[in-house]
Chain A
Amino acid sequence: MRLSILIALLVALASLGTAQAGEPQPFERGSWAKLRAGHAGQPTVIHLWGLTCGPCLVELPHWGELSARRPDLKLVLVAADPLPQDPERVAATLAKAGLGSSESWSFTDRFYERLRYEIDPAWAGELPRTVMIDRDGKATVLAGVADLSQVQAWLDAQAKPSH
């Protein structure tokens, strides 16, 4: 009993110590459902990237530009490195790419099989990866570096009234 209180206190202290503006939310078991619920009924683009993924770092500034150009883009960034990364570096990398104000999450559990399974059982963890979810919850996956003209076309399609 006492131990659990102590642990709870320590966890609370630890999170106080690290909670800074712009730091990613911890992506753990159950986070995918939470993320999805937070955007239910709203067309959303979820971009999975990683600090340990070279092509991702090259691609990020393009997402920053697109984000600035298209206010209708609801972009969520998930750092899905197989090993949890320093949240400060995640935040700093996003800020540098012009994505400092976007919703951001970062994998915190080394049991990445489970986190990937929750996102998509058939996803083996390759990065980058983009999941576009329309207002009906239908997901379109772009594997690898995204062709942003496809993302724009998808955004344009979301703006049209559904029938």
Chain B
Amino acid sequence: MRILVPFAALVVLASTASAQHQHAKPGAAPEAFTAAPAFAADGTLWLVRPMVDRVAVLRSSDLGKTFSSPVMVTPEPMNLDWGPDARARIAVDPKGGLVVTFGIFQDKNFNGRAFYARSTDGGVTFTRPRPITADGTSQRFETAAVDPSGRVFATWLDKRNVAKARAAGKTYAGAALAYAWEDGEADFGPTSIALDNTCECCRLGVAFAGAARPAVVFRNIFPGSVRDHGVITFRDPATPGPVQRVSVDDWKIEACPHHGPSLAIAPDGSYHVAWFTDGAARKGLFYARADSADAAYSAPRPLSKPDRQPSRPYLLANGPALHLVWKEFDGNKVVVRWQVSHDSGRNWSDARTVAETEDASDHPLLVADRLHTYLSWLTKNEGYRLIPLGDQP
């Protein structure tokens, strides 16, 4: 029998552990504060949460009202990546198998190592976490997603070519966009580099244009150290297509925005991207659409105003509806704003506040269970919330 405990209790437990940790040495050990959801076909909600130095998976059969006791994916304490754009993630394959990915820091210079673990018994046990790739240089911002045929695709930012360039006395800007496909349920196959010289510190967005055709949105480094966004769509599992630039924001910066984009592909094949920029051409949070992988993107549409710190956009296509959320700050509260479109992103409902908080918060995420779409949000004051969005505002 499963022991069900209210999630609030877990949050209290986790923050007590954290507080003790911090009392020993204030600020000495930053901790990840994230929760990532995934629905299984049977309506089970899976949640992955770092808890200080462990990665835990919890399940809920009542849409997040109560959760099972956490199952630890990491048998031993690990130095988890707590970067503001890093996140442990969970994906469910068509057979109900679970894939958890997470990153650790290898050293004080933020060199990372990406791990994954599998469960084929409904989350009762997980395989011992294994590195996604054999190369030990540095990987961060790993993301795994299940393609429409059920195959697991993983992509991340990889620094192996930085090390190679250095060894040859050359410079290398940024990192490389790397990927691998799961080979059965045993392991990930060989790593390939899709593109060199991407920005090194922003989360990636993944969607599928079809079976074996992942599309990845990322902050790229365009000539002149301009850190604007690009999308790569794979032609087949081993052939990444060219970089389709989302917009010319002209953000020339030698710095770390730690603020990555989001991508959705609608059933009509249209692409939808939301992103943050502080470029010479525009500043703030933006959305644009393209009719297809090869089509040009529409003029960027601003979301909110720059003086409200709009941030962390997230897009999800679910049936005929395209959902968009982001968070912003009104001077006192952080609010999550939501818009929905029913015509492939051409027209959007007025932005509406669907959740708010008065302290620290994770990125707002979207997750779908059949035709129901939910906001998934972890906040310090309220703990974890799964908030139904409906189809119409």
A residues lining the B interface (CB < 8 Å): 10, 14, 18, 52-56, 81-88, 106, 108-114, 116-117, 121-128, 143-145
Which of B64-72, B208-216, B255-263 lies at the interface with chain A? Answer: B255-263
Name A86's contact: one of B25, B83, B278, B360 (CB within 8 Å): B25
Residues of chain B within 8 A of A82, CB atoms compared? 84, 258
Residues of chain B within 8 A of A106, CB atoms compared? 27
Which of B48-56, B113-121, B306-314, B366-374 lies at the interface with chain A? Answer: B306-314
B residues lining the A interface (CB < 8 Å): 23, 25-31, 33, 82-84, 110, 200-201, 252-259, 276, 278, 283, 306-309, 311, 329, 331, 334, 358-360, 380
A57 closest partner in B (C-beta): B109
Q: What's the Cα separation between A18 and B25 when bound, in Å?
A: 8
Q: Are the CB atoms of A121 and B380 closer together than 8 Å?
A: no
Residues of chain A within 8 A of B307, CB atoms compared? 121-122
CB distance from B271 to the nearest CB of A (A): 24
Name B311's contact: one of A52, A114, A124, A128 (CB within 8 Å): A124
Q: Are the CB atoms of B359 and A111 closer together than 8 Å?
A: yes
Q: What's the Cα separation between A125 and B311 when bound, in Å?
A: 10
Q: What's the Cα separation between A37 and B205 when bound, in Å?
A: 43
Q: What's the Cα separation between A83 and B255 when bound, in Å?
A: 17
Q: What's the Cα separation between A54 and B27 when bound, in Å?
A: 20
Q: Are A121 and B308 also in contact (CB < 8 A) when A82-B84, A126-B257, A144-B253 are?
A: yes
Residues of chain B within 8 A of A87, CB atoms compared? 26-27
Residues of chain A within 8 A of B278, CB atoms compared? 124, 126, 143
Q: What's the Cα separation between A108 and B258 when bound, in Å?
A: 19
Residues of chain A within 8 A of B83, CB atoms compared? 52
Q: Between A and B, how many residue pairs show CB distances below 8 Å?
A: 95
6 examples of A-B residue contacts, CB within 8 angstroms? A10-B23, A83-B30, A121-B331, A122-B306, A122-B309, A144-B253
Q: Are A55 and B360 also in contact (CB < 8 A) when A117-B309, A121-B307, A121-B308 are?
A: no
B381 closest partner in A (C-beta): A111
- Starting from the known contacts A121-B308, A124-B309, A126-B255, 10 additional A-B residue pairs (CB-CB under 8 Å) come to A14-B23, A18-B26, A52-B83, A56-B255, A108-B26, A111-B380, A122-B307, A124-B276, A124-B306, A143-B253
Q: What's the Cα separation between A148 and B253 when bound, in Å?
A: 16
Q: Are the CB atoms of A84 and B30 closer together than 8 Å?
A: yes
Q: Are the CB atoms of A14 and B26 closer together than 8 Å?
A: yes
Residues of chain A within 8 A of B252, CB atoms compared? 144
Residues of chain B within 8 A of A126, CB atoms compared? 253, 255-257, 259, 278
Q: Are A86 and B28 also in contact (CB < 8 A) when A124-B276, A127-B256 are?
A: yes
Residues of chain B within 8 A of A110, CB atoms compared? 33, 359-360, 380
A86 closest partner in B (C-beta): B28
Q: Are A117 and B27 also in contact (CB < 8 A) when A52-B256, A55-B255, A128-B255 are?
A: no
Q: Are the CB atoms of B30 and A121 closer together than 8 Å?
A: no
Q: Are A127 and B276 also in contact (CB < 8 A) when A87-B26, A117-B309 are?
A: no
Q: What's the Cα separation between A106 and B82 when bound, in Å?
A: 18
Residues of chain B within 8 A of A86, CB atoms compared? 25, 27-29
B256 closest partner in A (C-beta): A53
CB distance from B2 to the nearest CB of A (A): 32
CB distance from A16 to the nearest CB of B (A): 12
Residues of chain B within 8 A of A145, CB atoms compared? 254-255
Residues of chain A within 8 A of B29, CB atoms compared? 86
